[in-house]
Every structure is written in structure tokens, then in C-alpha cells.
Amino acid sequence: MAQLSSDQFAFGGQLLSIEDALDRVAAGLPPVASTETVPLLAADGRVLAADIAAPVSLPPFFNSAVDGYAVRFADLAAAGETRLPVSGRVPAGSSASAMAAGVAVRIFTGAPMPEGCDTVFMQEDVRLDGETVILPQGLSAGANCRPAGEDLPAGARALGAGRVMTPETIALAAALGLTDVTVRRRVRVAVFSTGNEIVSPGTPLGAAQLYDSNRYTMQALLRRLGAEVTDLGILPDDRAAIAAALSAAAGGHDLILTSGGVSTGEEDHVKAAVEAVGSLTFWRLAIKPGRPVAMGVIPAPGGTEQAAFIGLPGNPVAVFVTFAHVVRPFLTVLAGAKPERPMALPVRAAFPYKKKAGRREYVRVALRRGADGVMEAVKHPRDGAGVITSLTETDGLVELPEPIERVAPGETVAFLSYALLR
């Protein structure tokens, strides 16, 4: 288990920016220490625990990048075409012997270059005259060849510790001949929802009750990030019951994630429950939707283990937004990788908007192409943080920084695709 301190989350009473929250999350938060070696095809989404040095050069030998004719550049005429007899043929996977001066060799993509050859003409750029090939002028020395180690020399760092494995990095590891890699173990997360007003899907609805969607949102997002998730259900609005459940969940988990009950109302019991069994910092993020986020540390019974705690707001859209900007980077650090802010794309606003200065707001928008071909952001007609269809009927969020107070149609705004936030 990661050794955490409540000091890592310490914060005063003012609103906290997303950047400040991210800095506090990343500062000194230790990743999970345990590692495991997994087959290469099981490594997708896992975080490398150690650097990988190239055991061989990539490519391992000097080879042709195209189908064509290998020659010595020194044999080419200074001006005009060059005629050379064709002597030999080198397909991919075969060996190549040294080549005499003054001849060309038929060669195929990936085949080793004959000793002495240093340039390849593409087959579509030459003409054949019996057993002679006619080569055009203008090709540079070394054209259409791949030197040994052009991609990576043997011994060079191929992938660094903390890198999240992807299909691209798996391809590189396979090209280097690796069959398995050492990764950090998955982060273990316990998930609760809270509130007497919610019930699980499949349960009959009582009077004034709602089906719980937040627990499903959080679990789906966590699994996309490679976490091992334990669904611990719904906690009632009872401080003692919440405290006992949180304390028990701290054993065997790195993070406890809840939704609801983290504000300061009379029926918001999570804050008091966490303080009863652990330590808590209450954050008010300067964002909308969102704002109340609780963070802290909860020791497991016996004191040998502990878990980080994050309590998200109760409204579904606020859960999504605060997960993207708090939980996602927190989980990334716990997993041993470096959190990075998603790169926003510039689009044209097709809506007017007013907001308060000093607060960052996220507006749910759909994209469309304007009459002039420029991508436009169309605001969803309903702003409520409980309107789940405002997420399903849009493509992403327009991010409006703290200083902005108004947006006029036609202005350029920053768009964050949902694909970058989950």
C-alpha cells in the first residue's frame, strides 16, 4: 500500500484551482510499490516499473526500405542516366553476399543490403532493358535504405519507467524481441455511493428514490484507467455505518472513492465519518459543475495498512467532471505514471455564455461543422448537474478559464473531447 500523509492534501479554506489541485496530488504521492511481470499482450494499459533497454539494434541489420535495385552510389553517372547490368537477387529473409562494383542487384523490402551497396532505386522509377537496368539521375546517396540501429541502437533506452503501455509501445517491445515486461501492480480502488435516496438498478424504487448511476460511472471510468475495482454498494446516511464501512475498505485498497455527502449540510455525513476514522481535508475546487471534493487518508483496522480517500459530489455531471480533473490524475500518480493535462482543441463557439470570474466552467457541447467548414461547439440546452443526457447527447466540454466572464458566438474556445477525459 502507498504510504500517504494527510499533509499531502492540506489546504486552507479558499477555492482551489485545478492546477493547484493537480500539483498537490502529484507532490510526493508515492506510487504502489509492488510489481509483477506480465506477458507482453497483457501489458496494454499497465505502467512500466523499470526502464527497458534495447537488447538488439532496431533494425538489426542494414536493409532495403523498398522493392527495387541496390547499387553503389559511386557507380552512378554524374549526369544523365546510368545503365548497369543486374547481377543477383536478394529477397527478404535471405542472406546477401558482397557485390562487385559496376552492377545492380534486385532487392526487396526488408532484405539485407549486399556489402558495398549503399543506395536503392525504387522499382517504379527504373526501366529494364533485358538484363540491364536503366537508373534515372537525381537520387541521393543512401536513399531508400534503413541503417542498422536507425530506429534504436542496442543498449539505448527504448521505454522509460512510468510509461503507460499502449499498442504502440507493445509493438516496439515486440520488435525488440521481448515476450514480457515488468509493470506496477494495478491500483486497487473501493467504490461506494452514499444516500438514502438512491438504490441500485434492479431494485424496486421506493417513494422519492432514484437509481444510482454514480457508482457505475466511477467504476467504468476506473476500469478504463486500469484499476482493480471493488463495488461496495450504497452507504446509508448514517455516520457510524459510513465510518465502519470506510475503515473496513481501507484494508486491501489503495483508494476509496465515494460520491455524495461531502458538502457541509446536516445530512452530508461522509465528511464527519472520514474524520471519525481517519484524517480529512475538504477542498472546494473553483470549477462548475463540481466544487466540493473531500480528500484524506483512512487507516485500516490494526494500523498496518491505509488508503487514500476521495469523496466526489453527488450530481452525476459533477462526478464526471471532478473525476476527470481530480481522480484521474490522482490514480495516474498512484499507478506510477505522470499525470498530464489533456490537450484542448480550438473550436468556434456557436452560443453566448455568461459566467463568474475566478471560476473555471465546463460547458457540455456537441460539435458540428459550420457552413464555412470550421468546427463549431453547440451548447446543450440544459445546464443542470443532474442532467445525465447532457453527457450522452454531447461530444465533450468547452473549458472556460477563470478570467473569462462572457463568450460571444464566433469566439474561439477550448474543447476537450470526452475521449480525452475517460
pLDDT of residue 155: 97
pLDDT of residue 243: 92
Provide φ and ψ at 392, rounded to 5°. Answer: -75, -20
In the chain, % of residues over pLDDT 90:
73
pLDDT of residue 262: 65
pLDDT of residue 48: 97
Here the cell at position 306 is 491505509
pLDDT of residue 14: 67
- State the Cα–Cα distance between residues 259 and 271, nearest whole angstrom: 11
- Name beta bridge partners: 36: 183
> Could you tell me if 2 and 336 are in contact, meaning their C-beta atoms sit under 8 angstroms apart?
no
> Could you tell me if 298 and 198 are in contact, meaning their C-beta atoms sit under 8 angstroms apart?
no
- Name beta bridge partners: 312: 259
pLDDT of residue 3: 59
pLDDT of residue 271: 81
- State the Cα–Cα distance between residues 366 and 377, nearest whole angstrom: 6
- State the Cα–Cα distance between residues 305 and 332, nearest whole angstrom: 21
Distances (CA, A) of 390 to 290, 298, 321, 370, 384: 15, 34, 12, 21, 8
Burial class (CB within 10 angstroms; exposed 0-12, middle 13-18, buried 19+) of 96 = buried
- State the Cα–Cα distance between residues 316 and 295, nearest whole angstrom: 19
User: Residue 188 above 90 pLDDT?
Assistant: yes
Residue range 15-22: mean pLDDT, rounded:
74
User: Residue 11 above 60 pLDDT?
Assistant: no
pLDDT of residue 296: 85
The pLDDT tens digits for 396-422 are 999 999 999 999 999 999 999 999 998
Residue range 374-399: mean pLDDT, rounded:
95
pLDDT of residue 372: 95
Here the cell at position 187 is 491500483
Residue 191 has a CB neighbour count (10 Å cut-off) of 24
pLDDT of residue 180: 97
Confidence of residue 28 (pLDDT cuts 50, 70, 90): low
Strand-pair category, 396-400 with 360-369:
antiparallel
User: Residue 154 above 70 pLDDT?
Assistant: yes
Residue range 228-251: mean pLDDT, rounded:
93
The pLDDT tens digits for 199-212 are 999 999 989 899 99
- Backbone angle region of 298, left / alpha / beta, with phi > 0 → left and psi within -120 to 50 → alpha: beta
pLDDT of residue 293: 82
| Least confident residue range of 102-111, 260-269, 327-336 | 260-269
Burial class (CB within 10 angstroms; exposed 0-12, middle 13-18, buried 19+) of 210 = exposed
Confidence of residue 286 (pLDDT cuts 50, 70, 90): confident
The residue length of the chain stands at 422
pLDDT of residue 6: 52
